[in-house]
Structure formats: structure tokens, C-alpha cells
Structure 1
Amino acid sequence: MKALFGHDAAVAAFRKALESGRLHHAWLISGPVGVGKALFAEKAALRVLADGAGPPVDAPGLDVPDDHRIARLIQAGSHPDLARLERLPRETGTELARSITVDQVRGLQRLFATTASLSQWRVVIIDSIDDLERNAANALLKNLEEPPPNSLFLLVSHASERLLPTIRSRCHQVRLSALDDDAMTSALTAALPEAGADEIAALRRVGEGSPGRAIAFRGLDIDALDSTMRTLAAEGDPTNARRSQLAQSLSLKAAQPRYEAFLSLAPSLIASVAKERRGPALAEALGLWHRASDLAGSATRLSLEPQSVVFELAGMLAALAPRR
């Protein structure tokens, strides 16, 4: 299984709880997208099941050797005491369903209807709990209120503040933060062993502490896009030439992935500039960030015309430039 980088405190807390024999039955694992929440849940589940079934694991953190019998079972998708809930593919096409259904949650009763097979533990991973439909969340709440013996729920959340308060209150909450530069470099180097130092550095910069985000941008010439945006923010665009050129290049059908990357990067760049400002300049930058976030967030959902969206967002970047 992949290595987990940058979350030593959370790993240590989980190990301490496991070794003490007082492991809380539900862990709510929250934080930004792409920082390793799902991987934390997978590794925690594997460690619990491997330690419970044996042979004893002599490895640091949440690591389990790949040749451990429990690791092989989980890799094959055939461990009888582990269940995963996630959005399922629709009956037609390759798109996923909008939510995790109440029937999926009720299906967990099959796991808990009999005793555990290989150890005392039964583990459920939900990735992500944000995707539960309302009835499914209420059904899950019953399990969290009266958990079956020796059960462990690992709940991945990208926006835990939106969950039912009754769910949050029944979980031990652990938040995984964005990775620092050293952890990002290690994570990207491990994930992309063929990448050079310059590419790793560029991906680390645009990833903003999220290896998943950085890897999603790979192959899109993000370094050049980032440079163009930073030039707009530093020098402005008095003739509209720069943003017109950018809008035209990102509106092409073949440029759809770079367009989507721009929608993510533009508000983030405005936010990073805002952090360096004070007083009226900060207020102005925050106003631009709110506008950019709203526009970028609705552009795909509302099928807005890409050229117009890019031109407007680029104008907000240009508005950050010092007035001459």
C-alpha cells in the first residue's frame, strides 16, 4: 500500500488509541481534498484488521507489509470483515450516482449479522460521508449511536461542518491538514518516481499542500499557466491583451482539462495574494476572492461559456496588480 506522508500526529493518535484498547468506534477523518484522508482510512483499517488477526505486525505507524496475509486479502477485495461504502456507478454510462443510498447503509447489517471471521474486528470505510443522502445519514446514525461490538467506522469527509451535528458528536474527529513543502516533495516523489526535480517543484507549488490536487494537474503544463496568472496579478493587463489571449487558449475543446485547472487555481492564487495584504488592500483582495470563488464554482455546474469565464476571472487577477 502507498506511504502516507505529513500526518504523523494523526497516525500517532490512532496507534495510541489502538494499543490502549480504547479505540473509539467511529473516526471522522476530515480535511482538504487530496491530502490523504482516504489513504489514512485504508491504512488504519488494514492495521486494525492485521493486528487483530495476526501474525503480529512489526512496522511503524499504520504500515503493514504487503505480504501480510490480511494485506493480501484486502488487496484482493475479499476480506470478509471489511466493508466500503462509496457512490456506485449508474446503470448506464460511466458516471457515478449522486449519493450513497440508504440501501447501501442498510446493507451493512449483513456485516454485523454474524461474528467477525478473522479477528474480533469489523471495519467500515465510508468515502465520503458527505455523499450520504439524508435517509442514509439517518440510518448510519443508528449504527453510530448503538455500535455493534468491536466495530470501527472510518468516515472520510471533505466538509465535516456540513454533516449532521448528531453524527459529528458521536465521532472522534481528526483533521488532516495540507502538507508542508517537505512532505509534499516526499509524497510527489513517491507517487511520480519518473518525474524530474523541476516538475516535482512545479507540482508542489500548484498543489498547495494537496498531493492529489497536484497529481491531477500533471501533464497540463500547469507551470506555464501558473506563470501567466502570476504575471496578470503582478503587472495587470491595461490593454486586455493578456486575458484575451488566455481566454481564447482555454476555451478550445481540447483545453478543457486546463480550463478546469484554471478554475481551481485562480481563486487559490487570489487567496495567496490576500494573505500578504493588510487594511483596504486586504479587503479588496478578499472581495475579489469571493467573486472568483463564486464564479469558478458555478462555471461548470451552470455550463457557463468558458471564454467569458476565463476573461472575467483573469480580470480579477489583473485587479490585484499594484496601481501605477
Structure 2
Amino acid sequence: MELPVIWFIAISVLWIGYFVLEGFDFGVGTLLPFMGRRNSVDRRVAINSIGPVWDANEVWLLTAGGAMFAAFPAWYASLFSGFYIPLFAILIALILRGVAFEYRGKRDSDAWRTWWDRAIFFGSAAPALLWGVVFANIVRGVAMDADHIVTASLPDLLNPYALLGGLTTLSLFTLHGAIFLTLKTDGPVRARARRAALGTACAAVPAGAVFLLWTQAAYGHPWTLPLVVVAASALVSGVAAAWKGREGWSFAFTALTVLTAVAALFGALFPNVLPSTTDPAFSLTVDNASSADYTLTVMTWVAVVFLPLVLLYQGWSYWVFRRRVTGASVTGEGVTAPDGPGRGDGAAEPRRTPVA
């Protein structure tokens, strides 16, 4: 197998990892206003469920973007210039979200926390929507000239297929996050999350089914059909498991849904990396967008050495913070308090909160 193809697969895996892991982060943030409208402790329980891992999950995005830049510079250049507005909006939302996690508890004020909770909601819901719009357009193709300059305007990117892709990722990530909360929390938040999961499924299942069928019919290949079937089956199975209260299986099924759905998108894209709707001859492909073999060889050795270390560390962090989060654990009732002065209901940094 040629190195450009290997790195196309590697970048696909990095994006899959990002969407599987950051997907439930986005879902938790999107559901935050509904986890305890008048109860800051319940909102803190929801935040603390992703507190130890949300920033580590974003490393997958940085790695995927860096790999695209190094392995396929032409793809990176055309994509980030042609999709400047939606990608810039995603960047602003992610920055706002990160700041909100850190600043939410810096003041013991309900009004202060409410504003930062709104920032977490926007910083989660906007990327969840826009990533679907972006990747649907990548698969569909955009207007691009012979110099690989994207000439499509913002209204061109808001086509029906892309908007359906955005609705699919938003609803699917919200469902994924709701099921994660049922698995990771207890008490009122767990009960609300279960209701949210079943309610969100009413949008995620039909949107996901139509989007997957549209993708396969218009852009798919014979080898992507099994991925589409598995994604649709796993989505229905995840909702059924959530209905029966089997949270572990439900989360595994929604994770499998995201994994196979994103894999189907990259499978439909191959061998292109950015199709041109102006003229197929202007499309960027795995061959004409890749770096030199020497660059790809060096990247391969770096990945072989360091990727297993990163995976081991992230797996270890999930294992350490595997227990459920409850109201007692975030308020310090029934657990050993950390050294230093108590910070009351305004505790800001979920990563420093003991988990019982």
C-alpha cells in the first residue's frame, strides 16, 4: 500500500477518534442548560463528568489538523481557505468553550455562572452543527478551479445535503452525550439525561438514517455500504439499549455509530480528498495533494513511536476517572476534600474536583 493511501487512512482514524471522543463532550455541553436550570450543583455534575477528559479529547483535532498539513498540504490549504468562515466560527466556539470551563467558578455568583454556562452551550452546539456542514461539503465537493482554489461562497456551503449533515452531527452528538451522562453520573442528572437521550433520539435516528442513505446513494462505493448498514443498526440498537437502561451497551453502540458513519464519509470521499464540482479534473486526490515520500516516511516513523504512548496515556486517564459523578462528589459531602480553602458552589475546575 502506498504511503499517501496509508496517511489518508491514518487521518481518517484521527478524525474518527476526535468525533467519537469529543462528540460526547459536545453533547454534554449542548445539554448543560437542561441538566439543572435552577440547580448549579446538577450543572456542575454534568461538567465534572467530562472535566478530566475534554481537553485531552481535543488533542485528536490538533493531531488530525497537523497530519493533514504535513501529509496533504494542498488539501489543507484549499480546505482551510475555502471553508474559512465555518472553520473560524468553530475555532471561536472552541476557544469560548475552553475559557468557560476554566472561568465558570472563578466567582461565587449565579449570574456569572449562568453566562459561562451559555458559553459552554454555544461552544458545544455550534461545532457539533458546523462539523457536519463542513464534512458533508467535503464529501459532496465544492466549486474549485484548476489551481485548487475554492471559489464556492458561504451560501454554496449551506446546501440541503450539508445542512442535513449538520443536523445529523448535532443530534447524534447530543444523543451520544446524553447517554454518556447516564453512564457517568447518578441522581437527578442521570434521570434527566436518560429522558434527554430518548427525546434526542427522535431527531437523531431519522436524520442519521436519511443522511447515511443519501451519502451512500449519491457518493458511496460498494465497500461503504456495510459501514452505512452498521452505523444505522448501531444507532437503533443504542437507542433500544438506552430505553432498557443498559447504559454501557448504549454508549458502545452510539460510539460505534459515530465511528462507522465517519468511516463511511471518508470511504465515500476516497480517492479524492476534496472533489471539485466545477470539473472533476480539478479535484484534489490522494495522489496529487500528498507530500513527498520522504516526508511521509518520517511522519510514519514518528507516528509508530509516539501514537501508542498517547493512546496509553489517554486510556489510563479514562480508567482513573471511571467512577460516576454525583452531587455529593462535587460539593465534597461524603468525600475527602482537597487541600486548600473550599470554593463553595462556584468550584470552577472539574479536573481538580474529587470523584467519588
Bigger relative contact order, structure 1 or 2 (CA pairs below 8 A, ≥6 apart): 2
More helix by share: 2
**What's the TM-score once normalised by structure 2's chain length?**
0.29
**What's the TM-score once normalised by structure 1's chain length?**
0.31
Structure number with bigger Rg: 1
